Amino acid sequence: MLVLALLCLLSISSSVPLHDQITPRPGETCGYESCPKTEPGVLNVHIVPHTHDDVGWLKTVDQYYYGSRNNIQKAGVQYILDSVVKELWEDPKRRFIYVETAFFWKWWVRQSRRVKSKVHTLVRQGRLQFVGGAWSMNDEAAVHYQSTIDQFTWGLSKLNETFGYCGLPRVGWQIDPFGHSRELASLLSAMGYDGLFLGRIDYQDKRTRLRDKTMEMVWRGDDDLGKKSDIFTGALYNTYSPPAGFCFDVLCDDEPIVDDAGSPLYNVDNKMTLFLNYVKKQSQHYRTDNVIITMGGDFTYQDAAMWYTNLDKLIEYSNLKAAKDDLKIKLFYSTPNCYLKAIKDANPVLPTKQDDFFPYASDPTAYWTGYFTSRPTTKYFEREGNAYLQMVKQLQVLSNLERHNEFILNELKSAMGIMQHHDAITGTEKQHVAHDYERILSTAIDDALLVARQAFNKAAQGDSGKAPLFSYDRCHFNESRCHTSETSETFMVTVYNPLAWGVREAVKLPVTYGHYEVYAPNGDKIVTQLVEIPDEVKRIPNRRSEATHELVFIAHLHPLGVKSFYVKRVSTTKRAIANGSYLEWISGEGVRSDGYLDRLNQIADVKDLTNLGLDAIVDEGKEPLWEDANGTGAAFKGTMKKRETDDFKISFAYYPGCLGNNEVPANRSSGAYIFRPNSTKAIGLNVESVSEISGDLLSEVRTKIRGNVLSIKRVYKEFDFIEHEWLVGPISVDDGIGKEYVVKYQTDIINNGEFYTDSNGRQMLKRKLNARPQWNLTLTEPVPGNYYPVTNEIYIENGERFTVLTDRSQGGTSLVEGEVELMLHRRLLHDDAFGVGEALNETVLGSGLVVRGKHRILRSKDPVEIAKSVFQMHLPPVVFVSDASGLSYEQWMRLENCKKFVKTPMPDGLHLLTLEPWGDQILLRIENYKTGAEDSTIEIDLQGIFNGIHIKSVKETTLAANQWLDDYDKWTWNTEGDFYESFNKKYGSFEAVNKAVDGPDVREDEGLKIKLKAKEIRSFIADIEYTD
């Protein structure tokens, strides 16, 4: 049963009821009501004590929490919270904010009842306030919006169930991420945040904003959502550090305030003069009589008494001096929430922003664009983790599993929340920390698969309630490694589709050479193709696999559906005839009607084409797949099936990383954060050999390229995209030079220096070469200064469109007309001097890391087709393999091998973003992914979605599900300047673009029939009952 805290705040978890510790006592206030009163006509100086606690960076999460390995960094989060609570308790005027719920929760569950009671009091009185409140302070370049929403939901749920209304964060606090995304602004607005504060913005942007007094603005997060996505955004004056000379921490060397007039160390007058001059200078760059002074930094307040003793003096003596000198300045303890309220009360006219804050540069040679690609295997693993998390959350609900499973789900939620941290998915941590992140996520995935096994075994039993229990083993398909399929003569393949519409997926099973038969759930034998695993994959260090081939078949999957396939190895020496038979499809599983079963189990030959001397290899009825095999550069030509488009070529190159001592900007090295090549021209890599595979399911051209690169261009007969599989590494550094590998897709499109990249996997933003939308750019690093984050998608267009989808976050650009460039892998030998203290030099068994991935090439401009391809690339079907030794085909056929969890597919334009258990209820999020340019409002009946689940009622919440939507009152602001209907149309265009006109936000729902407008995500808590 859901319950409400004070002022109707939603209590997220029904497992912890509200109680007297949460409800403010008479005379107690929290939230904005607890803020100190500002004075008109004076400069109000908000002193904000805070700590910034990275959820892993130089030390692991646990090392940071417990204070271990202080030889690396003196940091112990448990001591920070212990010390702060003690000092806050000493004086009711003192304030403190905390951000990272992962650390707070780790500390909270270890506290005594007495300490918890004190903390409740501090929160009820507004003396301890939470800002941000997500599980970690997430990155904004490499993260996907689904994972961002999840980790905010998880962190905020803990605060809400523990502290109710008084624990509600009012502002976003993104003070350390290295650039800021427009999509996060939109998400925070939808979550009910009233404001957002940023620490890092580009040095040229900041210089312009300081001059023009535009450090605080109204940021529009999404054109289609309009004013609903607006959020106050403030750029902090000094990143998040205290003024120089005023860091009163055990980690700092600044002098304390000595107020003993008889001491030779007495410094009150000097200290107060310096400080008051500082705040006057800062105030000149802002539009109200309020300034925020951040008093803290990385892992500060381990001895909070040092801070508060000196801050008490700073406030007291500064106020005395200001009064004496008639400076009209007032200092007081405050929080970002209270500073924001003071800004709102001042009612300033604010500038607007409609783009984003990428890329970020801290000086002319320090463009923080390398981390868009750093540690590419970690970025891929995070995406796998999200696929597993969405699957097990869905299956827990759809299969009506036991409630105690939610403890397992919570472990994976926590692990994924940690992975969103701005030093985790970014790849900007020390190597031993990267290993620990992978350990945390791998353990959580392995544990959570218990839920999948329960669901799949329950589905296989069907109405009989009896069936063998299968293992549903997790495989490592990125290495073509799967112990069960490699060693079992008979095995079962189970495929789950986490999307709410039907998909087709090429399933690739690592096997040893032989003849295999695959049976669909209806018992029909289906078409397969045996494809040899490339030698480069077999040589991946530490692969530990006997597989020599991949057994490929196409699975047609129902929405939120699971299917099992029966595979057996057949003892035969008969070889299938090789190339090019036509297929006549007679069922959803692609079953042949001509009866030639030997053709259903094709073993494709590899043909060496290196020395043929042909400009192109063309099979009858097919388009050219490659050309210029012996030229300078790996150039492969391909034309999309069923598309009338120009050809495109693929080439590979690398940028040598700049080497320097980092003492001045001119000597900046390329490193984990910074991309700085020593030349504006990448060094091309030549082709060594070319081979071709052709079969009934797929054809591919494999090109081996110098520098340990393998490129495979693959065309499936059933799909309209081209798949480009790439393998890079180990990158050689024997010459003492670090290297950053890129792939280039070359087309005939004249894109005029314009290209588009996604913002956290959702909206697309126009980019212009050598330009920024809101300020004049001076660029000394033309390559890294034009790199942008690509979470899912990058495209160029001019009439025609060329789109590349990625399987992980990467850096991308278009430096040359008609070309898309993506960075794939980085191996560097020098640190860039931004704190990590070690080079980005990943190795396995003493050899450089090998990275394998995929891109998909699309030429369609159909928005629904593209969106569905993006979703499937991000949330592909999940494949498991189970040993079926001793299980005959006839026994397998008696199992329930096909399970449909939905009644009808989601209509085009809608996406089931979230389905997860919520106590004895469920959390349901539906997303409309269409844009306003289309017929975009869509209606859906929630009652008609799921099989076996009756939805009794729903109540809508804000995006993060921690407030009832009806109880959220969005703030509005006075603005100068205009918002436009489309930023992309306005940016760099001389054509007239309409100004945005926001109409009333009127709901037109009828019971469980809801309507979603363009780009809306709506969240509901639903009461349900199971009918099966």
| Torsion, Cα of 604, 610, 614, 619 (10° steps) | 10
Beta bridge partners of 756: 766, 795
CB atoms within 10 A of CB 386: 22
CB atoms within 10 A of CB 969: 8
Distance CA 274, CA 269 (A): 9
Half-sphere exposure of 775 (CA within 13 A, CB side): 20
Distance CA 940, CA 463 (A): 30
Tell me which residue of 25, 48, 26, 21 sits closest to 35, measured CA to CA.
Answer: 48
- At a CB cut-off of 8 Å and minimum separation 6, what does 219 contact? 182, 185, 196, 230, 231, 232, 233, 352, 353, 354
Q: What is the DSSP string of 414-429?
A: HHHHHHTBTTTTT--S
Between β-strands 709-716 and 722-728, what pairing exists: parallel, antiparallel or unpaired?
Answer: antiparallel
Tell me which residue of 202, 129, 188 sits closest to 163, measured CA to CA.
Answer: 129
Distance CA 11, CA 921 (A): 13
Own/partner contacts of 248-252, CB < 8 Å, gap of 24 or more, are 248/306, 248/307, 248/309, 248/310, 248/311, 249/296, 249/297, 249/300, 249/301, 249/302, 249/303, 249/306, 249/307, 250/74, 250/302, 250/303, 250/306, 251/74, 251/297, 251/298, 251/299, 251/300, 251/302, 252/300
Instruction: State the SS3 of 651-682.
Output: EEEEEEECCCCCCCHHHCCCCCCCCCECCCCC
Distance CA 18, CA 23 (A): 8
Rg of the chain over all Cα atoms, to the nearest angstrom: 29
CB atoms within 10 A of CB 59: 25
Please give the biggest Cα pair distance in the chain. 104
Tell me which residue of 154, 153, 170, 139 sits closest to 31, measured CA to CA.
Answer: 170
Beta bridge partners of 851: 728
DSSP 976: S
The sheet with strand 698-705 has its strands ordered as 606-608, 687-694, 698-705, 709-716, 722-728, 851-858, 800-806, 793-798, 754-759, 763-768
| Torsion, Cα of 802, 806, 811, 813 (10° steps) | 0
Tell me which residue of 491, 474, 472, 479 sits closest to 550, measured CA to CA.
Answer: 479
Two structure tokens written together for 292 = 């925020």
Distance CA 868, CA 910 (A): 10
Decide if 183 contacts 204 (C-beta within 8 A): no
Decide if 956 contacts 1011 (C-beta within 8 A): no
Q: Residue written as tokens 């009821």? A: 17
Q: Residue written as tokens 């212990």? A: 82
Two structure tokens written together for 957 = 């919440």
How long is the chain? Answer: 1028
Residue among 53, 54, 139, 176 flagged as catalytic: 176
176 assigned to active site: yes
Distance CA 871, CA 693 (A): 29
- Encode 79-89: b = buried (16+ Cβ within 10 Å), e = exposed: bbbbbbbebbe
**Catalytic machinery residues:** 176
